[in-house]
A and B are shown apart, each in its own frame.
Chain A
Amino acid sequence: MTMSGWLRLEALGLNENGARLLNPVNLTLTAGRTAILGANGAGKSTLLRLLHGLLRPSEGRLIWPTPLSQGMVFQRPAMLRATVLANVEYGLKIRGVESAERRRRAAAALAQVGLGDFAKRPARRLSGGEQQHVALARVWALEPQVLFLDEPTASLDPASSREVERIIGDIAAAGARIVMSSHNLGQARRLAEEVIFIDHGAVLEQTPAAEFFKQPGSEAARRFLRDEMP
């Protein structure tokens, strides 16, 4: 995987009803695994949604030097009233993947997240942690080149969180670039190569993870680390 700038943000910003949700920012994403850190309401989700194209920027632009396929995992996965397998097949179906191949890929993705035996279960009847696994399988089946994750473990218990973290690591190892927001510092430290720190709608730093956790560049980040550290 080439590491030279797979996504560039040029003065990308978002205003909504007169409120600044994201100050215009210039960034170049090069790392394979990036964590977006910041307090609640700092704008982590907004930034992710802009990157994924769910929100339209009110200024500036996103530049994908080579178009990459993307997927996203949300804090609360939305499961359809259908079986687990049907949920995982959904994105493939939209892409016109033919049914036998679809089934094969969905089943493989489920096996990879450890839910091989759950194919026939109704998805919405699963626990939150299991549903997040299904969401990961659903996106993994699409083999995205970039995976955005918005606080994927925020509403999970520690055991499920660790499992989800392992799967994210596996997806990264399979070659996908990962951009994940989190306020779990331990998780960010384990997963990320690079940290983007955001505070009150402003991106304050983009720093290699090891450096960020040792010596953050901004005062706000130092305060954030101090407050979040156990």
Chain B
Amino acid sequence: MSSNSGNSDGFSRRHILSGLAAAPALGLLGRPAWAQASVNTTGLAVTDTEVTVGILHSVTGTMAISETGSVEAEKLAIDQINAQGGVLGRKIKFIQEDGASDWPTFAEKAKKLLVNDKCAAVFGCWTSASRKAVLPVFEQYNGMLYYPTFYEGLEQSKNVIYTGQEATQQIIAGLNWVAKEKGAKTFYLLGSDYIWPRTSNKIARKHIENVLKTKVVGEEYFPLGHTQFNSVINKIKLTKPDVIYAIIVGGSNVAFYKQLKAAGIDLSKQTLLTISVTEDEIDGIGGENIAGAYACMKYFQSLDNPNNKAFVSAFHKMWGDKTVIGDVTQAAYLGPWLWKLTVEKAGSFDIDKVAAASPGVEFKGAPEGYVRIHENHHLWSKTRVGRARTDGQYDVIYETADLVEPDPFPKGYQ
């Protein structure tokens, strides 16, 4: 397409110049300079010195507050990879598009990134709805999407690498922990009313009833953006569950936790386990309103390991000391790195080869610790339980001994 021919004709002088500049760096790394034809047989936007990728998140609209962290993490990872010499000797150039919190816009922009810009990979999407909207586009035009959010599972595609956890990874370990540590016998399930909380609670209920042999005493859903939780809080007070299991998303969280506190439910005594509140959400909720609650996910900013310390300080250096890093932000950071490692393993930018090379790719430098891509294009990762502090951070109090296998189509949980 036009953009490609423009690259090879119009920018030839820049090629030579930047090619010269890159040569010593390549020599140091001891990596052969790949001829373009062999690493790119399908007409992607790859020149001898540059490779173009896309970043597709909402930077406007209601989701902007959540997705900004992902954009920042992806840009940081791209910067760091470029500083180390790029991918197969090519610097990564990104084109950013705004999904505007609107699913059809996501589909339109995804198509633009694949068809017009010929992006070798796209890092993006956040909500399930946006992923569902772009999935047919990625499958039709054979693109590669790195999707960062923890999500409901029930999906697997050659054209997507899921760098967040699917539902069973996040849920089962957390429930096992709370059953063992807290001796929990009764659970009250809450959620925002859409596919992810509903599917997650379905898995949670099966596990609570069939595996733990305990009881669900209530299950309720609220529209996105709901702010009146008084009636459900009263029901919780009446049923006195051992555990409140909350999968409330977005702005509703602020109202929910404030009303919970106002109703006199003390989270230092009442166990509350959530899988939807990261450090980003606590920023809005206020640490004092949620202190004492438990969250179960794969990453917390306070994780104590050298990778994470380097990541957090690089992130703060680039985006300011006040920014907090939640689970999804870290998962977004994995995207460009996993793609780089996969491309280098495949020795090619071709989508088919990258998809085929993905299973087994390991990333030892992940802030969350070692991760590996499974045959089903999800990540093997550890699951952790954190307890919210008043300063908006979590104390990590438990982590699974081994990596948890991703199982997007769990048998017995459907």
A binds B: no
Residues of B at the A interface (CB closer than 8 Å) are none
Residues of A at the B interface (CB closer than 8 Å) are none
